[in-house]
Structure 1
Amino acid sequence: MKILVTGGLGFIGSHTVVELQNVGFDVVVIDDLSNSSLDVLNGIEAITGKKPDFEKIDLREKQAVKDFFVKYTDVTGVIHFAASKAVGESVENPLLYYENNIGSLVYLLQELQKKQESHFIFSSSCTVYGQAEKMPITEEAPIQGAMSPYGNTKQIGEEIIKDVAKVSGINSVLLRYFNPVGAHPSVNIGELPLGVPLNLVPFITQTAIGIREQLSVFGSDYQTTDGTCVRDYIHVVDLAKAHVTALQRLIDKKNAEKVEVFNLGTGTGNSVLEVINAFEKVSGQKLNYKIVDRRAGDVTEAYADTTKANNILGWKAELSLDDALASAWKWEQKVRGK
């Protein structure tokens, strides 16, 4: 069985390709290289001994998506990562996010529904919960009004998948994950954003290595232990393995419903300042950071109740925040040749 991984040269996508190939799946990657590099293919090959098939496609181009499925008729499983993903940027440029994140999903599902049966894993997000009323967040938590266009695209995406499942042979798992961090222990692949990082950990590592002069901590007046935002930081390797587990669940027909939902996190929340302190401990580097005003679209805190993923999906995060930060730092050093 050939598995399509869209956005497969991105941060989470590349780690998932590695885990798929490690257990014997044949993988084809679609990526438009807008926030990734072809060099990632070499990193995947260095880890697994095999380079996946690759097609450079912009999924907003409907005909290109059609042509892909004509060429790869044996693709019946799709793990869909390809999407724009920055909260702040989505606030500034909402139409880009709606076109890219919704259009590409629709075109993929249109091709998959032509098949008698197919398996679809959707890269969703804890942003669908907005500012949840209770912590930790369970899958039963109300879907709040989205606090950003990015979050809204994930909510809309989930609704589209549920609607299509009712009238097609597509079985899906929606994985709502929290904050992926870290790098593969081989440091052959990791998080490498183009331009200024929009996520905390790569901004930390780039500041520590001297690329960024200063790290901005957005807000210190939140209702948390130290006033900074709290998130559930999950090691990207743990996250990647969950996608393989979810796909295998569909293949083995163990899913209880046509569309299942699982939170993926560690179950522990860490504040921004706690992450900074943990990084300083594992790296031995002192960070230059400054408290600045809050950032639009940020929620106060979000961390997962992982009971359902642990007990039903049969998956559990095994790596710690220290593991993730240490690997992220080694990756940054390797990339910069230091």
Structure 2
Amino acid sequence: MAILITGGAGYIGSHTTVELLEAGYEIVSVDNFINSHPEAITRIEEITNKSFTFYELDVLDAEALNNVFAAHRIDAVIHFAGLKAVGESVQLPLKYYHTNVLSTLCLCETMERHGVFKIVFSSSATVYGAPESVPIKEDASIGATNPYGRTKQMIEEILQDLALSDPRWSISILRYFNPVGAHQSGRIGENPNGIPNNLVPYISQVAIGKLKQLNVFGSDYPTIDGTGIRDYIHVVDLAKGHIKALERIMNHAGVDVYNLGTGKGLSVLEMITSFEDVTGRRIPYALTERRPGDIAVCYADASKANRELQWSAKKDIWEMCEDTWRWQLANPSGYSKEEWEQAN
């Protein structure tokens, strides 16, 4: 039996692969390296001292995906693959709908063809849109405010319909809040292509001198300091949540939705201050206009995951910043060493 991981070389996929290998699972991983790097595969094996099967392919490629299922006895799937930048999705909505929604349809059709009916889906707290109240519970109304979030919302609805149509399906939908941090070894971490779209990798690149300053999008939100508040969760805590969700679908049919977050919100300026405290480096920033599709406050009620999955976030903001900084110092240009060496 094996677990298929789509997007296995990506940020969350790579950390989850480490946790699964260390827990003794057999892994088959696929990735097209559109927003990831082959070096992550090498380093996963280095960290765990274990090998696994990897295929470079696009989940939209039905024939290639079918061949993977034909070659392995897949027991369950963890589906990470997809595009993930909120700002980019506003500019390129068709690309996001095509890639995220169609690839999931292709995956589910292939799973069904091969008699595989267990899947953990990588969703997002963006499906909630502008929440009516916080902390956000899983039964809150959903209404994403950007194309990225709407692709996640559409996929959730597809999976809900699958579970209703066929009792063999067993599905966990995990709504992430804001993953940050890196493996404590410093060998794998978030590896943005070009300018980072997310706050913490941008801060860390400013801290190391790769970027001049941070632009803070919005300083007039109704929050403690006018900047947006988010629930930041360590990527290793998030990865461990996938193991718990996997255990759940092995023993429960139907579909369940879980928030994965800490249940605490931090503003952008609080995150900057925390990173400065950990690194001892000043983070220059400029207050700018709000970014389209962003909301003021978003943090989780993760009590359902605690109750049903026996999971909760363990790592605090200090560890999130410390592990991010360790990764950034050891990998100034992420997995692409040449870029930094040529510039210095």
The TM-score range, normalised by the shorter chain, is over 0.9
Which whole-Å deviations, capped at 9, do the CAs of 1:154-206 have from their partners, x for residues lacking one?
00000001111223322100000100000001111111111110000000000
Structure 1 counterpart of 2:132: 133
C-alpha deviation, 1:117, in angstroms: 4.9
Residue 91 of structure 2 corresponds to 92
Contact 1:42 1:51 (C-alpha < 8 Å) held by counterparts:
no
Which residue, out of 297, 302, 310, partners 2:306? Answer: 310
Q: Classify 1:239/1:136 alpha carbon distance in 2 versus 1 (closer, same or farther; 3 Å).
A: same
Percent identical pairs in the alignment equals: 48
Number of the residue aligned with 1:58: 58
Among 269, 274, 281, the alignment partner of 1:278 is: 274
Tell me which residue corresponds to 1:173. Answer: 172
The answer on 1:4 being equivalent to 2:7 is no
The match for 1:164 is: 162
Gaps of 5+ in 1: none
Partner residue in 2 for 1:259: 255
Give the match for residue 320 of structure 2: 324
Amino acid at match of 1:54: F
Q: 3-state DSSP class of the match of 1:260?
A: strand
Pairing 1:333–2:332 present = no
Distance 1:117 1:10, change over 3 A: closer
How far apart in 2 are the matches of 1:239 and 1:68? 26
Q: Which of 292, 295, 311 pairs up with 2:291?
A: 295
Superposed, 1:37-56 pairs within 5 Å as 37-56=37-56
Contact 1:112 1:170 in 2 (8 A): no
1-structure distance, mates of 2:247, 2:146 = 32
Q: Equivalent residue for 1:237?
A: 236
The letter for the 1-side match of 2:248 is R
Deviation at 1:71, TM superposition (A): 2.0
**Structure 2: how far apart are the matches of 1:315 and 1:220?**
34
Question: What corresponds to 2:67 in structure 1?
Answer: 67
**Structure 1, residues 270-314: CA drift from partner, whole Å, max 9, x if none?**
000000000000110101111011100101110000111111111
Give secondary structure in 1 for the equivalent of 2:304.
helix
- For 1:222, what is the secondary structure of its paired residue? coil
> Partner letter of residue 274 of structure 2?
A
Q: Does 1:112 align with 2:111?
A: yes
Task: Determine the structure 1 residue equivalent to 2:150.
Answer: 152
Q: How much has 1:114 moved relative to structure 2?
A: 2.7
Q: Alignment partner of 2:216: what SS? A: strand
SS in 1 for 2:241: helix
Q: Could you tell me how far apart the structure 2 residues matched to 1:250 and 1:151 are?
A: 24
Aligned residues: 333
Asked if the contact 2:74–2:116 (Cα under 8 Å) also holds between the matched residues in 1, the reply is: no
Other structure's SS at 2:55 match = strand
Matches within 5 A, 1:218-229: 218-229=217-228
Distance 1:167 1:221 in 2: 46
CA distance in 2, matches of 1:248, 1:49: 23
Q: Deviations 1:71-105 (Å, cap 9, x if unpaired)?
A: 22x01210000010000000000010001100110
User: Residue 64 of structure 2 aligns to a residue in which SS?
Assistant: helix
Partner of residue 183, structure 1? 182
Aligned counterparts of 1:19 and 1:320: Cα–Cα separation in 2: 19
Unaligned runs of 5+ in 2: none
CA distance in 2, matches of 1:229, 1:308: 25
Check the 8 A contact 2:231/2:264 in 1, yes or no: yes
Q: Structure 1 45/117 Cα, relative in aligned 2: closer, same or farther at 3 Å?
A: closer
Q: Is the 8 A contact 1:41 1:52 kept in 2?
A: no
Q: Which region of structure 1 is more displaced relative to structure 2, 168-177 or 230-239? A: 168-177
Per-residue CA distance 1:110-148 (angstroms, 9 max, x = gap): 01123445310000000110011010000010112x210
Contact 1:76/1:112 (<8 A) preserved: no
Which residue type is aligned with residue 287 of structure 1? I
| Cα separation, 1, equivalents of 2:274 and 2:236 | 19
Determine the structure 2 residue equivalent to 1:17: 17
SS in structure 2 at match of 1:166: helix
TM-score with structure 2 length normalisation? 0.95
